[in-house]
Amino acid sequence: MNAHGKAIKYGDHIDTDVIIPARYLATQDHKELASHCMEDIDKSFVGRIKEGDIMVAGVNFGCGSSREHAPIAIKASGISCVIAKSFARIFYRNAINIGLAILECEKASENISEGDEVVIDFDTGLIKNLTKNETYQAQPFPDFIKEMIAKGGLMSSIKGGAK
Amino acid sequence: MTQKILAAHAGLPSVTAGQLIKAKLDLVLGNDITAPVAINEFENAGFDKVAKDTRITLVMDHFAPNKDIKAAESCKKCRGFAKRFDLPHFYDVGEMGVEHALIPEKGLIAPGEAAIGADSHTCTYGALGAFSTGVGSTDMAAAMATGETWFKVPSAIKINITGKKGRWVSGKDVILHLIGMIGVDGALYQSLEFSGEGLKDLSMSDRLTISNMAIEAGAKNGIFSVDDITRKYMEGRCDRNWIAYEADADAEYARVIDLDLSEIPCTVAWPHLPEKTHPATEGSDIEIDQVVIGSCTNGNIEDMAAAAEILKGRHIKKGLRGIVIPATPKIYMECIEKGYTKIFMEAGCIVSTPTCGPCLGGHMGILAAGERAVSTTNRNFVGRMGHIDSEIYLASPAVAAASAVTGHISHPKEVMGE
């Protein structure tokens, strides 16, 4: 599995309230959520994102509210992977559960600039920055998470176990 | 403590930090925002049964009483699901309160039990010596079906509490002070474990506030040792046989932090992160438009009492909006019986139905551009209570009430003179 896209860059402590403000939480429609993604810190996000783009942020990405609407909005907006120095733990779980790829990598977070063209190999955790001709090594997912993703996410994996 | 509870729920003699386990759950919680997403997942996966031995609890508190048609549809979906599976713990308007105040109040969680909730402040029940943590809707859906979930066993930070709180200092000041010390990711992926001789100076209300905001330091949970205060709180609340787990004398901690209660001032978190803490006395130049007293963090009867003590016989500043939100119907009734409601209303505040309301910018007190609020809630992120150019200052009920009287951020002594 690979991702390939341009980097969209944010800072530290990006909370789920700015990823998807609570005023839009009365809906569960993925496209509607995506249409408001990041708007409280970056009004231009929805307009400039292209399918496959990669979000790159600092520490504690996804902190705050447990709303799964946040990773859903990011995924539905077309982002193929979020790279951060660290993730808030509920966001980390939610992203895996709904099938949004995420990677922790300090070097990538520091060195990738807005607009850089990036390719990610999820099997090895290798992140290539084609614009700067650099590579960064992220920790690939542990096996049990790879298995969960291979089975199509948490719900499919427990259903398989129940049968 | 956390590791012992997790081991017991995983059916293992012991667990170590970093280990992946599957644990049985005593309580699974969702609300009117997160449960509809979980119900969709549950139904799409084709499940037709819910786990029998887990208390599946749905609380309609965030956008209820329904703020608009979409919120009404969300609650309707939850109501239908509760009816379909005959869930005994479904709380709708009239019975519902802010979930993390309602659940301990009703004895739905006890020491030594394990809970997850599709709400980040599910960590509140650590106050009782339970393991509880927030998750997302898909985790909730899976847990409703199976009665269990997977965890990575966290390492622990020990908070060794000593000393006695000063006048006007409460659990809110303690947790804001701690977050100011370690930062909003200071306990990321870890447990905060509160113990020490200073615990006897922290009431259950203080503890509920402290555990509630463990997530604001990034923690997985924030758990207190069980003592006489816990035992007294549990009396008459539940007839299950609960277990008090204690940390071993030689338990390993990733870090130990000493916290002397006597050194903690009345503390306020400036926008836009809970770690931006200052003593309340530094806020005299910051004029405010609104005060909110309530939420899962500070909507308990002790919080109401602290606000009433300051507002009694006084009036909030002309032009300021004071919104008081008792967290549950029981607390609401107690406010009436104890005369707090009259005090609040004579002071010029309005007393709202229990709801999460303005805390997450839902309804009942949204801020316009340029407006500032002092709020007893838990987050002051950009746009959390309304417009992205509004500001939230997080404080205790006593500081919030005093600030309502003066119109700027105030230490209670500014109003009470002591």
Which structure tokens are listed for B301? 């009867």
Number of structural domains found in chain B? 2
- B173 shares its domain with B233: yes
- B125 shares its domain with B196: yes
Q: Within an 8 Å CB–CB cutoff, is residue B119 touching chain A?
A: yes
What mean pLDDT is predicted for residues B57-80?
97
Give residue A162's pLDDT band: very low, low, confident or very high (50, 70, 90): very low
Give residue B377's pLDDT band: very low, low, confident or very high (50, 70, 90): very high
Per-chain mean pLDDT for chain B:
97
- B223 shares its domain with B308: no
Give residue A141's pLDDT band: very low, low, confident or very high (50, 70, 90): confident
CA separation, residue B297 to residues A151, B359, B379, B383 (Å):
39, 10, 10, 19
For the stretch B85-143, pLDDT in tens is 999 999 999 999 999 999 999 999 999 999 999 999 999 999 999 999 999 999 999 99
What mean pLDDT is predicted for residues A107-117?
98
B257 beta partners = B159
The residues in A 123-142 lying below 8 A from B, measured between CB atoms, are: 142
Q: Which residues of A touch B46 (CB under 8 A)?
A: 159
Do the beta carbons of residue B234 and residue B263 sit within 8 Å? no
CATH of the domain at B161: 3.30.499.10
CA separation, residue B115 to residues A57, B27, B193, B268 (Å):
31, 5, 17, 30
Task: Please state the three-class secondary structure of B252-283 as a single string.
Answer: CCCEEEEEEHHHCCCEEECCCCCCCEEEHHHH
The residues in B 348-407 lying below 8 A from A, measured between CB atoms, are: 360-362, 379, 381-384, 388
> Based on the number of CB atoms within 10 Å of its own CB, is A65 exposed (0-12), middle (13-18) or buried (19 or more)?
buried
Determine, for residues A155 and B41 on separate chains, whether the beta-carbon distance falls below 8 Å: yes
- B93 shares its domain with B227: yes
> Based on the number of CB atoms within 10 Å of its own CB, is A131 exposed (0-12), middle (13-18) or buried (19 or more)?
middle
Q: B239, B261, B283: which is the final residue of a domain?
A: B261
Residue at B35: amino acid letter:
A
- B146 shares its domain with B278: no
Do the beta carbons of residue A42 and residue A74 sit within 8 Å? no
What mean pLDDT is predicted for residues B226-250?
96
- B252 shares its domain with B295: no
How far off is chain B from A57, nearest CA to CA, in Å? 15
Give the number of other CB atoms < 10 A from CB of residue B52. Answer: 7
- B46 shares its domain with B81: yes
In terms of DSSP bridges, do strands A117-121 and A2-9 run parallel, antiparallel, or are they unpaired? antiparallel
State the residue for tokens 């394990």: B114
- B257 shares its domain with B293: no
Q: Out of A13, A28, A89, name the one closest to residue B37 (CB).
A: A28
pLDDT at B354 over 50: yes
Give the number of other CB atoms < 10 A from CB of residue A91. Answer: 31
Task: Please state the three-class secondary structure of chain B as a single string.
Answer: CHHHHHHHHHCCCCCCCCCEEEEECCEEEEECCHHHHHHHHHHHCCCCCCCCCCEEEEECCCCCCCCCHHHHHHHHHHHHHHHHCCCCEEECCCCCCCHHHHHHHCCCCCCCCEEEECCHHHHHHHHHCCEEEECCHHHHHHHHHHCEEEEECCCEEEEEEECCCCCCCCHHHHHHHHHHHHCCCCCCCCEEEEECHHHHHCCHHHHHHHHHHHHHHCCCEEEECCCHHHHHHHCCCCCCCCCCCCCCCCCCCCEEEEEEHHHCCCEEECCCCCCCEEEHHHHCCCECCEEEEEHHHHCCHHHHHHHHHHHCCCCCCCCCEEEEECCCHHHHHHHHHCCHHHHHHHCCEEECCCCCHHHHCCCCCCECCCCEEEECCCCCCCCCCECCCCEEEECCHHHHHHHHHHCECCCHHHHHCC
For the stretch B137-186, pLDDT in tens is 999 999 999 999 999 999 999 999 999 999 999 999 999 999 999 999 99
- B169 shares its domain with B274: no
Neighbouring C-alpha atoms within 13 Å toward the C-beta of B63: 25
Per-chain mean pLDDT for chain A:
92
Q: B237, B261, B285: which is the final residue of a domain?
A: B261
Q: Within an 8 Å CB–CB cutoff, is residue A147 touching chain B?
A: no
This prediction has a pTM of 0.96
What mean pLDDT is predicted for residues A96-103?
91
Q: B218, B244, B261: which is the final residue of a domain?
A: B261
Give residue A163's pLDDT band: very low, low, confident or very high (50, 70, 90): very low
Q: Which residues of B touch A41 (CB under 8 A)?
A: 382, 388
Number of CB pairs, chain A paired with chain B, less than 8 A apart = 133
How far off is chain B from A71, nearest CA to CA, in Å? 10
For the stretch B194-222, pLDDT in tens is 999 999 999 999 999 999 999 999 999 99
Question: What is the predicted ipTM?
Answer: 0.94
Do the beta carbons of residue B318 and residue B293 sit within 8 Å? no
- B343 shares its domain with B389: yes
Stretch among A137-141, B45-49, B63-67, B301-305 having the lowest mean pLDDT: A137-141
CA distance B214 to B126: 9
Give residue A156's pLDDT band: very low, low, confident or very high (50, 70, 90): confident
Q: Which residues of A touch B68 (CB under 8 A)?
A: 26
CA distance A72 to A95: 8
Residue range of the domain that includes B100: 2-261
- B294 shares its domain with B239: no
Best CA proximity match to A108, nearest among A86, A127, A122: A127
Determine, for residues B136 and A90 on separate chains, whether the beta-carbon distance falls below 8 Å: yes
Render A13-73 in DSSP notation, one character per residue: --BHHHHS-GGGTT---HHHHHTTTTTTT-TTHHHH--TT-EEE--SSBTBS---THHHHH
Give residue A139's pLDDT band: very low, low, confident or very high (50, 70, 90): confident
CA distance A137 to B87: 48
Q: What are phi and psi of A87, to 5 degrees?
A: -115, 145
- B322 shares its domain with B244: no
Closest residue of B to A95, CA-based?
Answer: B136
pLDDT for residue A145: 80
CA distance B386 to B391: 9
DSSP state for residue A77 in the 8-state scheme: T
